[in-house]
């Protein structure tokens, strides 16, 4: 046990002065102060500016990116609003167009219907006139044919050719009887 203390005691400085005991040497102290100040000056002058510049550049880049992101976000919001506005406008326009088209189509349909009705009426009227004409023609033809048949029948019955005057009187008389 005593050996430990002896060992420690032997390593303890023999100087009585506190500074000497702690190993403080003024020459060394001043030398180290000067050396350290030179180191600080050297680094501050030639090394740190590059490191500070890199940090500042990085910071500036980050800020620029943030600013760009914010601007992009604002722009996106603005575009979104514009798109919404355009969509709303388009919807209104589409609904107007639809309404107009509906009205126009109704009008076209009505016109077409009216036209078709007129045309069909015209066709019916024309057909009726034509039928009337054909009926009259058929009646006339029938009348003439009937007269001829009667004349022929009468000739056969009488056995002689009749004069036109006689024919006519006989035919009239016959016809009146037939009626």
Partner 1 sequence: MIDNFSALDLHISIASEKLFTLGGISVTNAMVTGVLGLVLTLGVLIYVAIMLRTKRYNRFVGLVQWVFEGLLKSVNDIIPDQVLARKIAPLSITIFFFVLFNYWLSVIPGLDSITYHGVPVIRSLTADLNFTLAIALITMVTAQIYAIKYLTALGNASRYFRNPIKDPIGSFEGILELVGEVSRGSALALRLFGNAFAGEVLLIVIALLSSYLASVVLPFFMAFELFIGFIQAYVFFALSLIFTSLAVTPHEDSNPDHSPTAKHIRSVAK
Residues that bind partner 1 (CB under 8 A): 1-4, 7-8, 11-13, 20-25, 27-29, 31-33, 35-37, 39-40, 42-44, 46-48, 50-55, 58
Nearest-angstrom CA–CA distance, 72 and 67: 8
**Cβ nearer to partner 1, comparing 30 with 81:** 30
- CB distance 122 to 114 below 8 Å: no
**Cβ nearer to partner 1, comparing 40 with 109:** 40
Report, in Å, the least distance between residue 55 CB and partner 1.
Answer: 5
**Cβ nearer to partner 1, comparing 11 with 160:** 11
Report, in Å, the least distance between residue 64 CB and partner 1.
Answer: 17
Report, in Å, the least distance between residue 77 CB and partner 1.
Answer: 32
Alpha helices by DSSP H, listed for the chain, are: 2-11, 18-21, 26-42, 48-158, 164-178
- CB distance 167 to 151 below 8 Å: yes
Report, in Å, the least distance between residue 70 CB and partner 1.
Answer: 22
For residue 117, the 8-state DSSP code is H
Burial of 167 (0-12, 13-18, 19+ CB in 10 A): middle
**Cβ nearer to partner 1, comparing 39 with 77:** 39
């Amino acid at each position: 046990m005593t050996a430990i203390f002896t060992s420690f005691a032997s390593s303890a400085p023999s100087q009585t002065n506190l500074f000497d005991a702690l190993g403080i040497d003024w020459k060394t102290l001043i030398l180290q102060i000067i050396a350290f100040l030179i180191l600080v000056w050297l680094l501050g002058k030639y090394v740190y500016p590059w490191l500070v510049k890199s940090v500042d550049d990085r910071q500036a880049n980050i800020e620029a990116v943030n600013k760009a992101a914010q601007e992009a976000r604002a722009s996106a919001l603005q575009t979104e609003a514009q798109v919404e506005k355009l969509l709303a406008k388009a919807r209104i326009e589409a609904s107007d167009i639809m309404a107009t088209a509906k009205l126009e189509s109704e009008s076209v349909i009505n016109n077409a219907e009216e036209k078709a009705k007129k045309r069909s009426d015209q066709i019916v009227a024309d057909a009726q006139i034509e039928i009337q004409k054909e009926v009259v023609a058929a009646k006339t033809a029938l009348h003439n044919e009937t007269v001829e048949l009667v004349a022929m029948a009468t000739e056969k019955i009488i056995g002689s050719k009749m004069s036109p005057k006689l024919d006519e009187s006989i035919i009239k008389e016959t016809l009146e009887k037939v009626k």
